[in-house]
Structure 1
Amino acid sequence: MGDSGRGFPTYCRCGTRVIRCTSKTITNPGRLFHKCPYGDEMESLAIETHTCCSVVSGYEKELRGFEKEIEDVKMELKSLKNMVVCVVVFGLLYKLFM
């Protein structure tokens, strides 16, 4: 991937040939450096990935809340079903003995 020894590497860790640039900063004017041509794109993708993970995490929390609500509704439905069965049984018993 990179050259062993001193000097500029010719390839990035990702396998792409590096670009050699000259610094235009105040602290290092004219200093040579190398960079991956996909470096900025990789940073953007990393930020976008982080954002997507945050969104997914929020959806997972929301999904867990919905799952809890579904369980509560199931319990309520079961209770209502039991009440209807009791009313029907008592109604039949009332008709039978009256």
Structure 2
Amino acid sequence: MADQGRGFPTRCRCGEAVRIGMSRTAKNPGRLFHSCPRRSEETQWYHTFKWTDQCMVEEIEDLKLKMDNVEEDSITFQKSVNACETKVGTLQMETRVCETMVEKEIRECKMELRSLKNMVD
């Protein structure tokens, strides 16, 4: 049997939908498998056949890898969120400082304007 990818096959190389069956042989009694409905002994090399337990192991291994990647991505994302929160805090503080400076400038401008008005009057 050639490599047909990991996990549960859904389509055979011939295009047929893969079906699930149960072995009735003495060597593998009751063992589940996935195969092409068109498979025959003389053309089995071309059609899909894979034991279900093998598919399940591959699916679990692949899911474990995906979960590891999700966990790594989650940690990286959390670090990015923390950095953003720190930056937001810094920007909020800078904004308050700028607002204070602008308010001071406005007060000074108002005082200067009053002085100028008094000089003109």
| TM-score, normalized by the shorter chain, greater than 0.5 | yes
Q: Provide, for residues 37-86 of structure 1, a one-character-per-residue CA deviation record: whole Å limited to 9, x for no partner.
A: 31111111110000000000001101111110111111011011101101
- Structural mapping, 1:35-54, within 5 Å: 35-37=31-33, 38-54=52-68
C-alpha RMSD of the superposition: 2.3
User: Does residue 17 in structure 1 map to residue 25 in structure 2?
Assistant: no
Greater relative contact order (Cα < 8 A, sep 6+) = 2
**76, 79, 92: which one aligns with 2:93:** 79
User: Does residue 61 in structure 1 map to residue 75 in structure 2?
Assistant: yes
TM-score by length of 1: 0.63
Deviation at 1:35, TM superposition (A): 4.1
Number of residue-to-residue matches in the alignment: 75
2:26 and 2:104 map into 1 onto residues whose CA distance is 89
1:21 and 1:83 map into 2 onto residues whose CA distance is 83
- The percentage of aligned residue pairs carrying the same residue is 7
Q: Larger C-alpha radius of gyration, 1 or 2?
A: 2
**94, 103, 121: which one aligns with 1:89:** 103
TM-score by length of 2: 0.52
